[in-house]
Chains A and B, each alone.
Chain A
Amino acid sequence: MRSVATDSPAPARPAAAGARAPGAGAGPGRAPRQPRAPWAAGFGQAVPVMLGYVPVAFAFGVLGHTAGLPWWAMVAMSAFVYGGSSQFAALQLLAVGAAPYAIVLTTFVVNLRHLLLSAAIAPRLAGWRRREQALFAYELTDEAFAVHSAQYAERAERPKAEVFTFNTAVHASWVAGTLAGVLAGDLVTDVEAWGLDYALPAMFMALLAAGVIADRRGLAVAVVAGGGAVGLTLLGLQYWAVLVAAAVAATFGLAVAEREGRADDGEAVRTEGVPGR
C-alpha cells in the first residue's frame, strides 16, 4: 500500500490529496451545473474519500483478525477513535503486547495534529450549535479537513446537511471497510491491483492544484510543508511530520504575507494603515 500520513490510514505510509470542490457547481470556464440537493453534494464530495478509505480500512480489519483481536475491538476503534494511522500504530502495539498506557500515549501523539486542523476550520463553524460543532469535530479526519477546507474556500456558507452527509458517509465507509476486513479474515487482498491506493493522493493533488493553492504564496507554503514533512518522515518522525511541517510552513506563509504587506487571500493591498500590522 502507499502511505498516507493521515487520518485514514496506513501504517507504513502516510497518505495524501486536494482540488476544486465537487458539488460546488462549475469550475471556472465550465458550464454551470444544476444545483444539487445538499445531501447529494455532500455524498458526491465523499465518494473519492470513500474509495480511498474502504481498502485501507479493509486492510486494517484483516490485520486485526490476523493479530487475533476480537471483531468488536476493531470495529470500535474505527467507530470511536477514527484515526487511521493511530489505529494501525495501536494494532502493532497490541500485537506485541504493549501496555495500555503506551498505546493511549502513542495514539495521543499520532493524533495531536488534529489541534491544527480543528483550529483552522473552527471559524467556519461560527454560529453552529455546540453539539453540532462537537459532532463535526468528532469526524474531523485529515481527508475531511482537506475537502471541507477546499469547499469553504469557494463557498463560505454551506448547508449543514451537505457537511454532515459527507462526514457520515466517509465515517461509515471506514467502519464498514473495517468490518468487511475482519469478516474476510484470512482472505488475502491486494488493494494495489486497482490503483485505489492512489485515490487519496490523487484527491489531495486535485484539492491543492485546483482550489486550495490560490496564489504563489500558497504554492510556496505547500512546497515548504511538503519538503518539511518528507524530511521529518525520513528522520523517522512521521507522526510529527504533518503537525510540525504544517505549522512551520504556515508561519513562513504569515511572514511572507506580512513582508509583502498584503491582506491575506492574495489580495494585493498596499497596506499603509491597515490595522493589525
Chain B
Amino acid sequence: MSHLVLALTIAGMAAVTFGPRLVPTLFLAAAALPRPVVVWLRQVPPAVIAALLAPSLFAPAGTLDLGPGNPGLWLAVPTLLLAWRTRNFYLTIAFGIGSLALLRLVTG
C-alpha cells in the first residue's frame, strides 16, 4: 500500500471513529430528554464498565477460561471485595497489579 493510500486509510479510520463519539455529544448535551431516556442513560455506566470488564476476566483470549491458567479471574474476587470494603481507588489497583505480578513470580 502506498504511503498516500495508507494516510487516507488512517484518515478514514479517524473519521468513522470520531463521528460516533461526536454526534451524540453535540445533539444530546443540552437536549431536554424524556424521562425514560434519562433513566436508561443512567444505567449505561455500570452496564458499559461491566461489559468491558467481564470478557477480560472470563475469556482473556477469546475463549472461556475458568482454570488456574487464568489467574486474573480468581484475583478478581479479592480485588472486588477490597474495592467494595475500602472504596479506595488506588489501593484496589495497586493490589490487583501487585497480586498478579507476585503470583506470576511465585508460579513462574
Contact = CB atoms under 8 A, between A and B. Distances in A.
Interface string B54-70: 11111111111000000
Interface residues of B, number: 80
Given A12-B62, A201-B53, A209 B83 contact: yes
Contacts of A4: 52, 56
A112 B12 CA distance: 14
A242 B48 contact: yes
B96 A201 contact: yes
Residue of A112, A150, A249 with highest tally of chain B CB at under 10 A: A249
B102 to A, nearest CB: 8
Given A134-B22, A195-B99, A254 B48 contact: no
A264 to B, nearest CB: 4
A188 interface: no
A222 B46 contact: yes
A275 B37 CA distance: 14
Interface stretch (A33-41, A158-166, A177-185, A225-233): A225-233
A81 B87 CA distance: 34
Contact of A195 (B3, B28, B55, B100): B100
Contacts of A146: 45, 48-49, 52
B87 A28 contact: yes
A140 B95 CA distance: 27
Contact of B88 (A27, A97, A128): A27
Nearest to B100: A195
Nearest to B99: A195
B106 interface: no
Contacts of A245: 47, 51
Contacts of A30: 87-88
B42 A205 contact: no
Given A208-B49, A209-B84, A233-B55, 12 more contacts: A14-B56, A17-B53, A83-B17, A128-B29, A137-B18, A197-B100, A199-B97, A203-B93, A207-B49, A226-B51, A245-B51, A246-B47
Interface of A: 2-6, 12-22, 27-30, 48, 51, 69-70, 73, 76-77, 80-83, 86, 90, 94, 97, 100, 103-105, 107-108, 111-123, 125-128, 130, 133-134, 136-138, 140, 142, 145-146, 149-150, 153, 192-213, 218-219, 221-230, 233-234, 236, 238, 241-242, 245-247, 249-254, 257-258, 264-265, 275-277
7 contacts: A81-B10, A107-B13, A145-B45, A195-B99, A206-B92, A207-B49, A249-B46
